[in-house]
Amino acid sequence: MATLAELCRSQTDLTEAEVAHLQDLTGSWGLLADLSFADLLLYAPETEETEVPLVLLGHVRPTTGTTLYRADLVGQVFRRSRRPLIAECLEEGRIVEGSVHVGVDRDISLKAVPVRRGDTTVAVLARERSRPGDRPMGEQERTYLSVFDRFANMLERGEFPFRDEERFQHRAPRVGDGLLLVDREGRIEFASPNAVSVMHRLGMHRAVVGARLDDSGLGAEMLRSAFAKRTSVIEEVVRGSEATIVSHCLPLLEEGRATGAIVLVRDVTDLRRRDRLLVSKDATIREVHHRVKNNLQTISSLLRLQARRLTSKEARAAVEESVRRIGAISVVHDALAQSADHDVSFAEIVKPLVRAVEESVSMPERPLHFGVTGDAGILPAQVTTTLAVVVTELIQNAVDHAFIGSSAPEGGSPGRVEILLDRRPDLLAVDVVDDGVGLPEDFDPSDATGLGLTIVRTFVEVELGGTIHLRPGDESGTVAEVRIPASRLVSPLDDARDPRR
């Protein structure tokens, strides 16, 4: 379904400023629907001409009453003869009330309110509800309807929606949160049952109605600021760890003067408690990753010290390989320690791994250049750790076997090792490509007994459920192809995320 802005641009002549004005209205009109116990519909003419049809730009249903409409009519166009009260309101720029017959024995009470911006009526807000009949109305219903009428008069005068309005942090306020009606002196004239419960949470156990808002536990500055700025003000009140209340104060204006206000109060204690738990949990997880990284670095340092004391070249090489593998895991935990999420971008892991290898093996007599192309997207931490070790082993394998000897490749150009990442809907492809001497003619990957390839095969085939294939390059060198199915790129709590989505 098209948005309000899209409907306005495609079916009306409204300016961008007028469209923004209507968006401000629909951002808070759920409150008006609740206050009126009715459906609210927003109409605008297709053009400024007097006989053009009307476009239905928006519709909101109340949470305090029954809707009249099961179907969605937004975007439909109506002749003015079918909406005479709307047309009259639009042409005369004043509130129009009346009844509409929709059946043999059913009438709808309709109130058409002009939505004014400056001196121009840009749209009409229609309140439609079943006729109440002869049933008596309670105090709460009478109060809500009278507050709606005050907002309707503000719409007619162009004083609502408010300019420079503070936006609610979580969702638009609704009447069910709890409503306080305050007069111009700051005295509470009415309090809904939910509002009374919220006041009790703040420690106010005496009568709420008749008390001053200053004495309720809510911030007194909030009301003064709303009256002075003539716009809504939001404030959060915290009473230790026992209660957290968000209050949304909307001034009621009459020709520029504040004649009172409604204060919507919502108890968000449990929500804030969960937020604090999540923040604490995330901080704990990051601290764990940070400590794991530090411990891995300590182990690497101890292994380096041990390697210096070894006299056997094979033993020293084995220890250095272990240090390199631990370093790959440490890079992953370093990224996790800095991330607010449990998943990380694999491309951001590969780049420091490549830099570490490049710094350790590239020498003037054997220059090597490394590159990373493509994106693997966001991967779960466990998959990232395993794949980081795999890529490190393949890079080191290319360095050790593709560029044999201590001299530069023929022609003086440096050797190249490319890591190609390609995230597809069905799998993740990781290719490590070099332009070295290539594979021996009698090479059989299944007969390879080196520890590096053994680790790679075990991690790829067993841990990741993928495949590893070594083949000659298109012109020279070797290509190591790793393929991981998409089903193994999913964390236990979420789906893997494709960078192209």
Condensed to tens digits (0 to 9), the pLDDT of residues 75-116 reads: 999 999 899 999 999 999 999 999 888 765 678 899 999 999
What would the two tokens of residue 435 be? 């332009």
Give pLDDT tens digits for 352-378: 888 877 776 666 666 788 888 888 888
Give pLDDT tens digits for 107-125: 889 999 999 998 899 999 9
Confidence of residue 241 (pLDDT cuts 50, 70, 90): low
Q: What is the mean pLDDT of the chain?
A: 83
Say which residues have a Cβ less than 8 Å from residue 119's Cβ, sequence separation at least 6: none
Give the bridge partners for 121, in sequence order.
116
What whole-number distance in Å separates Cα of residue 157 and Cα of residue 93? 10
Among 259-268, 325-334, 422-431, 442-451, which is the least confidently predicted range? 442-451
Amino acid at 132: P
User: CA separation (Å) from 86 to 99, 153, 274, 483?
Assistant: 12, 16, 47, 63
Amino acid at 492: P
Confidence of residue 298 (pLDDT cuts 50, 70, 90): confident
What pLDDT, on a 0 to 100 scale, did the predictor assign at position 215? Answer: 84
What pLDDT, on a 0 to 100 scale, did the predictor assign at position 89? Answer: 95
What would the two tokens of residue 117 be? 């911006």
pTM comes to: 0.61
What pLDDT, on a 0 to 100 scale, did the predictor assign at position 457? Answer: 86
What pLDDT, on a 0 to 100 scale, did the predictor assign at position 182? Answer: 95
